[in-house]
Amino acid sequence: MLQPSLKCINQLFEHAITSEPIGMGGIWQIRDFSPTAGGDTHCGYLLHSDGPSFLLKLNDLAKQSLFSSEAHGLRAIAATQTIATCRPLCLGHSQNYSYLVLEGLKLELEGNWYLAGQQLAQMHLAPAEQQYGFSHPSYCGKTYQPSTRDDNWAHFFAVHRIGHQLSLLRGQHIDAAEIQTTIDIVKDLLHHRQPPPSLVHGDLWQGNISFHQDQPVIFDPACYYGDPETDLAMSELFSRLPEDFYSGYESVAAIDSGYSERREIYQLYHILNHANLYGGSYRQDAEQALRKLLH
């Protein structure tokens, strides 16, 4: 756990805004800071200055690519001009730390869930790239996500999402033949699904959506261009979002009748990711989900 001093925080902040001007009309002295809750990929601190507040994320130098990926995803979301996010201001490294500075929004857990669903649907409908994948390395939590471009959704998801996660589990009650069999099954199940590529958040659970002045804000993305149903599936995996969210979504974009058949396939990706990241009961959940798929 990183525990920098106020002096260290000010030095880092000064280095950050000097290296990459943040375009907020001033230079501020940080008067105090407080740790933020949540997140297992970094240490977070809310910085209180004599002007605006900022969110500073810190990690060791070896994890700098995580912050670069996060900033790229946040900028992609912001570029759709549909749903708010925590604007990335600058990132870099100094004093053995890698850092990412975000605008320090005051976030609340409850707000207008109907609007959140509408704005996510608008993001999914926003003009996007023509292929699945992403132009920048991305991560889901601490797990690298291949950004390989692909014209075929079934192949992309089966190989670059499910197959990649299974390769990380290889040797732990799963072998190469079983991996290939699973990939083939997922390809077959998604064979007729070829949605227009949409920008997806990639890790849309309740901990990654909040509200600022009643306006929805999404953050901690694992962005890529894919099937918007993957966001809906993740939003239902651990704790389904309030019903107003789904009503708002459907008021803008209809949910395909076949979604209920694909939901478990899309959720499998996150179950496997949790097994790889945390083990324990998540490993058992993954093995059970794979048995169900295979048999």
Three-state secondary structure along the chain? CCCCCHHHHHHHHHHHHHHCCCCCCCCCCEEEEEECCCCCCCEEEEEEECCCEEEEEEEEHHHHHHHHHHHHHHHHHHHCCCCEECCEEEEEEECCEEEEEEECCCCECCCCHHHHHHHHHHHHHCCCCCCEECCCCEEECCEEECCCCECCHHHHHHHHHHHHHHHHHCCCCCCHHHHHHHHHHHHHHCCCCCCCCEEECCCCCHHHEEEECCEEEECCCCCEEECCHHHHHHHHHCCCCCHHHHHHHHHHCCCCCCHHHHHHHHHHHHHHHHHHHHCCHHHHHHHHHHHHHHC
- Position 204 pLDDT exceeds 80: yes
CA–CA dist 139, 160 (Å, integer): 13
At 71-98, the pLDDT tens digits run 999 999 999 999 999 999 888 887 778 8
At 24-69, the pLDDT tens digits run 555 667 777 888 865 666 788 888 877 788 888 888 887 889 999 9
At 173-199, the pLDDT tens digits run 677 778 999 999 999 999 999 999 999
Q: Provide the CATH number for the domain formed by 113-294 in this structure.
A: 3.90.1200.10
Q: Which of 1, 102, 124 is nearest to 53 (CA)?
A: 102
Whole-number pLDDT of residue 2: 58
Whole-number pLDDT of residue 8: 73
Average pLDDT over residues 251-279: 95
The sign of the CA dihedral 183, 189, 193, 197 is negative
Residues catalogued as catalytic? 203
Whole-number pLDDT of residue 180: 93
Whole-number pLDDT of residue 11: 72
At 113-156, the pLDDT tens digits run 999 999 999 999 999 999 999 999 899 999 999 989 999 999 99
* Domain extent listing, the chain: 6-103, 113-294
Q: Provide the CATH number for the domain formed by 6-103 in this structure.
A: 3.30.200.20
CATH topology identical between 6-103 and 113-294: no
Whole-number pLDDT of residue 171: 63
Average pLDDT over residues 218-232: 97
pLDDT band at 222 (very low <50, low <70, confident <90, very high): very high
- Position 21 pLDDT exceeds 90: no
At 158-174, the pLDDT tens digits run 999 999 999 998 766 67
Whole-number pLDDT of residue 22: 53
Whole-number pLDDT of residue 37: 67
Q: What radius of gyration, in Å, describes the C-alpha atoms of the chain?
A: 20
